[in-house]
Structure 1
Amino acid sequence: MHKSDFRFSHRLRVRWAEADLQGIVFNGHYLTYADVGITEYFRELGQAYSAETGVKGADFFAVRTLLEYRSPARFDEQLDVHVRIAKLGNSSMQFLIGIYRDDELLVNGEIVYVHADQSSRQPTRIPEAFRAAVREFERCTPEG
Structure 2
Amino acid sequence: MAYADYRHRIELRVRWAEVDMQGVVFNGHYLTYCDVCLTEYWRAIGLRYPQDLVAHGSDTFARKITIEYHAPAVYDDVLEICGRASHIGRSSLRFAIEMFRKGATDAALIGAELVYVNADPVSKKSQPWPDRIRELMRRYERIAPEEAAHGAR
Match for residue 142 of structure 1 among 123, 142, 146? 146
Per the alignment, residue 44 of structure 1 pairs with 44
Match of 1:92 in 2: 92
Whether contact under 8 Å (2:19, 2:26) holds in the other structure is yes
Structure 1 stretches of 4+ moved >4 Å: none
**Deviations 1:104-127 (Å, cap 9, x if unpaired)?**
310001001100123332101111
1:119 and 1:41 map into 2 onto residues whose CA distance is: 24
8 Å CA contact 1:92–1:113 kept in 2: the answer is yes
SS in 1 for 2:56: coil
Residue type of the alignment partner of 1:55: H
Corresponding letter in the other structure for 2:98: G
Identity %, equivalent residues: 42
Residue of structure 2 equivalent to 1:114: 117
CA RMSD of aligned residues (A): 1.4
| Alignment size in residue pairs | 143
Structure 2 counterpart of 1:119, which letter? V
Q: Determine helix, strand or coil for the equivalent of 1:49.
A: coil
Moved more, 97-106 or 29-38: 97-106
Q: Distance in 2 between matches of 1:141 and 1:8?
A: 14
**Counterpart residue number, 2:131:** 128
Preserved CA contact (<8 Å) 2:85 2:145: no
Kindly state the Cα deviation for residue 142 of structure 1 after the two structures are TM-superposed.
Answer: 3.1
Paired residue type of 2:146: P
Deviating more after overlay: 64-73 vs 47-56 = 47-56
Unpaired runs of at least 5, structure 2? 149-153
Partner-residue secondary structure (3-state), 1:36: helix
Letter in structure 1 aligned against 2:74: R
CA distance, structure 2, for counterparts of residue 129 and residue 89 of structure 1:
14
The alignment's TM-score, normalised by the length of structure 1, stands at 0.92
SS in structure 2 at match of 1:105: coil
Give, in whole Å, the separation in 2 of the partners of 1:38 and 1:52. 15
Give the AA of the match of 1:11: E
Local SS of the residue matching 2:27:
coil
Q: TM-score, normalised by structure 2?
A: 0.87
Correspondence for 1:6: 6
Structure 1, unmatched stretches of 5+, are: none
Q: Alpha-carbon deviation of 1:141?
A: 4.8
State the secondary structure of the residue aligned to 1:17.
helix
Paired AA for residue 64 in structure 2: R
